[in-house]
């Protein structure tokens, strides 16, 4: 199995699209280099911000292969391989392994309600099927299924399940997962999926975050981890707090639609999110323009 240290700020890189909604691989390469040049510590292909929920299997493979090729080993590449069924998830995991991904991020199944035992058996079967590091991905507001801390404790005992990303928005849940990892064998890393909780996750013993806002502010987001690692805790807290005005714009639409729109407003040819998740009202556009200018004037990038 690949040995990959989970750490830092990992960008769930957006998937640029042309006007006809095909994937714009040239701009995807540009975004890969923009992110790495800004100092992020990893890239996560077709996560929530990468619209993995709306890409087909062939598109996911193309996106992943493009990101891996362009990253060229400079940072680890994570692949969002979770699907609703165990069978399709394993197929996607094997695709990602063949493509050369470093880590698998496996979201919980969605739509149909799953018991904790069903979730445990789902992840266990995936772990047996692929010899790769796996990060659990908990985002119950989107999937309808939450991984209980007790289930995380059981899963953390499986050798290649090496960590979890929690996007529940609950710091209490992050702390519960951290405790679950320690009870298992201690060899379990915690990543915040909520950008505002990254510094607090780090201070509690976590290792970083998968940060959608890094698509807009890669340098600022990467600095949260870098400053923390240097012992500059107050500066790291300030960097984390600096994204609050941008996150306030999430009131105008789906957060990943807002993020992609913001990157487009910065002048990058990333296109819109795939329909129907592509609408931002004029008030939202104006708010974004205002916030982007204010933050640029502060030196955020």
What is the average pLDDT across 20-44? 98
Total-model pTM = 0.96
Share of the chain above pLDDT 90, in %: 97
CB 97 within 8 A of CB 65: no
CATH superfamily of 8-233: Aldolase class I (3.20.20.70)
Q: What is the torsional sign of CA 194, 197, 202, 204? A: negative
pLDDT for residue 184:
81
Could you tell me which of 249, 248, 247, 195 has the C-alpha nearest to residue 224?
195
8 Å CB contact between 205 and 181: no
Return the active site residues: 137, 165
Is 90 exceeded by the pLDDT of residue 187? no
Q: Mean pLDDT in the chain?
A: 97
- Count helices and strands (H / E) in the chain: 13, 8
Could you list the beta-strand ranges (E) of 139-291: 161-166, 189-192, 208-210
Q: Does residue 219 surpass a pLDDT of 80?
A: yes
The set of residues, in sequence order, having a beta carbon less than 8 Å from that of 192 and lying 6+ positions away, is 165, 166, 174, 198, 200, 201, 206, 208, 209, 210, 211
Q: Which residues contact 179 (CB under 8 A, 6 or more apart)?
A: 149
What residue ranges do the domains of the chain occupy? 8-233
Give the tokens for residue 67.
Answer: 């990101």
> Residue 139: how many CB atoms within 10 A of its CB?
23
**pLDDT of 186 higher than 80:** no
- The Cα 50–Cα 53 span in angstroms is 8
């Amino acid at each position: 199995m690949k040995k990959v240290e989970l750490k830092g700020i990992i960008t769930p890189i957006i998937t640029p699209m042309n006007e006809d909604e095909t994937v714009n691989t040239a701009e995807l390469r540009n975004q890969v280099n923009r992110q790495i040049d800004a100092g992020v510590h990893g890239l996560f292909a077709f996560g929530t911000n990468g619209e993995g929920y709306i890409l087909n299997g062939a598109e996911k493979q193309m996106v992943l292969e493009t990101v891996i090729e362009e990253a060229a080993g400079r940072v680890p590449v994570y692949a969002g391989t979770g699907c609703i069924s165990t069978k399709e998830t394993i197929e996607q995991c094997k695709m990602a392994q063949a493509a050369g991904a470093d880590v698998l991020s496996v979201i919980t199944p969605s739509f149909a309600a799953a018991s904790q035992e069903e979730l445990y058996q789902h992840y266990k079967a995936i772990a047996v099927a692929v010899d790769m590091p796996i990060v659990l991905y908990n985002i119950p507001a989107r999937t309808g299924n939450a991984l209980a801390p007790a289930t995380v404790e059981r899963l953390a005992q499986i050798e290649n399940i090496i960590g979890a990303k929690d996007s529940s928005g609950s710091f209490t849940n992050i702390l519960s997962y951290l405790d679950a990892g320690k009870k298992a064998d201690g060899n379990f890393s915690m990543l915040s999926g909520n950008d505002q909780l990254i510094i607090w996750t780090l201070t509690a013993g976590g290792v970083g975050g998968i940060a959608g806002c890094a698509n807009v502010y890669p340098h600022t987001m990467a600095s949260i981890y870098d400053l923390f690692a240097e012992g500059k805790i107050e500066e790291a807290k300030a960097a984390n707090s600096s994204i609050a005005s941008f996150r306030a714009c999430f009131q105008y639409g789906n957060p990943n639609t807002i993020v992609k729109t913001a990157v487009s407003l910065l002048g990058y040819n990333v296109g819109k999110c795939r329909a129907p998740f592509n609408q931002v009202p004029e008030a939202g556009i104006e708010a974004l323009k205002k916030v982007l200018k204010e933050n640029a004037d502060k030196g955020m990038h």
